[in-house]
Structure 1
Amino acid sequence: MADEGKADNVDNGVSVALVMIDVLDAFFAPGKPAYYPDSVKVLDPCRELLAKARERRRLIVHAVERHRPGLADFEHKKIPVHCEIGDDQSPYVAGFEPLDTPNEVEVPKRRYSAFYATDLDLMLREQGVKTLVIAGVKTNVCVRATVQDAFAAGYEILLVKEATNSNRPHLAEASLEDIDRYFGSVVTLEQALERL
């Protein structure tokens, strides 16, 4: 008998979820305000993680920037307006769109962290998730903020080194060092695929 409240097509036998952060045209398409050329280096590793998570029927969280057009947003006091709902920056990079299945969910965020003012923590706990495999951009901004909040909430964190980067490589490297020392584990793609 299936557990009450758990979807039959989500593998809850292992308490691991994949969290993909901001795999959107805004960061990966040339000409967009948040684009930087090295961003595309994370796409192949992210594809491998997504394929493995889908194959294993893991919970997959697509945490994405979604700002309300025409309304004030505190984040935009520091950085240019981007990822407004319905604009040309908000679409997913082709092939990274969530599938229409219960184990792939979009978590819209209006701040850097995927945990802040979202239902992510509640959803993960209800599914029995204890470990997060994290990938996406930018290492020193949204990825780091999400990792820090995940740590504060008590999750084991596996940040995939090949699947994250930044337009400020020195800050990305410093963030990886800090994350590995204080918040979780920075792992290789191979190690992450074994855990998924």
Structure 2
Amino acid sequence: MTKTALIVIDMQNSFLHPDGENAYPDAQSVVPNVRALIEKANANGRIVVHVADRHREGFEDFEDKRLPRHCVTGGFNAEFFEGFGPSGAVGEIEIVKRRFSAFFATELALFLNEQGVGRVVICGVKTNVCVRATSQDAFAHGFEVVVVGDATNSNREHLARASLEDIDRYLGKVVDTGEALEMLA
């Protein structure tokens, strides 16, 4: 049986809190499904990786060339949204990233390989940016990629749909929360 880990992308105030700098109307629609995935993973001893997008105040950051400054370390927007982030449960870790992918320039691939993980179930925000980039890099690192389509979304619905289609065709599999819960059981 393939060892499975859950990767939860950017469930932070910036995207989910109504006052967040990158909040969008439909962002919170993923909250119940992502919470259900975390609960199931924790209940079954799965590794849960809480990914946070964070950038340093006062320093240059390559992403600033494409995006407004966001998720500055220590600020409200960089904090996990209420009920998200490591809870202290055994098997939960935090990975901080400075680019779209949770794998780029982090220890995520090394850590998952050391734990014998072969499949990653990915959820969170935003489908067409950080979820897509993380899926691409997970595939490149040799992981079986599963994205939970109804536990991720974007403020650009047409790009979210296209990203899910690409992921399902080229990188892995897109499933609904029910199927993902079975994989985490």
TM-score when normalising by structure 2: 0.97
Alignment of 1:70-85 (within 5 A): 70-85=58-73
> Residue 89 of structure 1: SS of its match in structure 2?
helix
Tell me by how many angstroms 1:101 deviates.
4.1
Residue 97 of structure 1 aligns to which amino acid in structure 2? Answer: G
> Residue 130 of structure 1: SS of its match in structure 2?
strand
What runs of 5+ residues in structure 1 fail to find an aligned partner?
A: 1-12
The aligned counterpart of 1:66 is 54
For residue 136 of structure 2, the aligned residue among 148, 151, 157 is 148
Are 2:7 and 1:19 aligned?
yes
Please identify, of 50-59 and 92-101, the stretch whose mean Cα deviation from structure 2 is larger: 92-101
Alignment of 1:99-118 (within 5 A): 99-118=87-106
What runs of 5+ residues in structure 2 fail to find an aligned partner?
A: none
The aligned counterpart of 1:162 is 150
Are 2:164 and 1:185 aligned?
no
Residue 36 of structure 1 aligns to which amino acid in structure 2? Answer: Y
Q: Deviations over 1:109-149 (max 9, x none)?
A: 00000000000000000000000010001000000000000
Tell me how far apart the structure 2 counterparts of residues 144 and 160 of structure 1 sit (CA, whole Å): 12
Do 1:21 and 1:134's aligned partners in 2 also have CA atoms closer than 8 Å?
Answer: yes
The aligned counterpart of 1:87 is 75
Tell me how far apart the structure 1 counterparts of residues 176 and 150 of structure 2 sit (CA, whole Å): 7
The aligned counterpart of 1:5 is none
Do 2:2 and 2:119's aligned partners in 1 also have CA atoms closer than 8 Å?
Answer: no
Aligned residues: 184
Larger Rg: 1
Tell me by how many angstroms 1:31 deviates.
2.7
Please identify, of 36-45 and 94-103, the stretch whose mean Cα deviation from structure 2 is larger: 94-103
For residue 47 of structure 1, the aligned residue among 35, 49, 58 is 35
**Runs of at least 4 residues off by over 4 Å:** none
Do 2:126 and 2:154's aligned partners in 1 also have CA atoms closer than 8 Å?
Answer: yes
Residue 125 of structure 1 aligns to which amino acid in structure 2? Answer: N
Tell me how far apart the structure 2 counterparts of residues 14 and 146 of structure 1 sit (CA, whole Å): 20
TM-score when normalising by structure 1: 0.91
Tell me how far apart the structure 2 counterparts of residues 48 and 74 of structure 1 sit (CA, whole Å): 34
The aligned counterpart of 2:124 is 136
RMSD of aligned residue pairs (Cα, Å): 1.1
Tell me how far apart the structure 1 counterparts of residues 70 and 81 of structure 2 sit (CA, whole Å): 15
Tell me by how many angstroms 1:90 deviates.
1.2
For residue 17 of structure 2, the aligned residue among 23, 29, 40 is 29
> Residue 22 of structure 2: SS of its match in structure 1?
coil
Aligned residues with identical type, % of pairs: 52
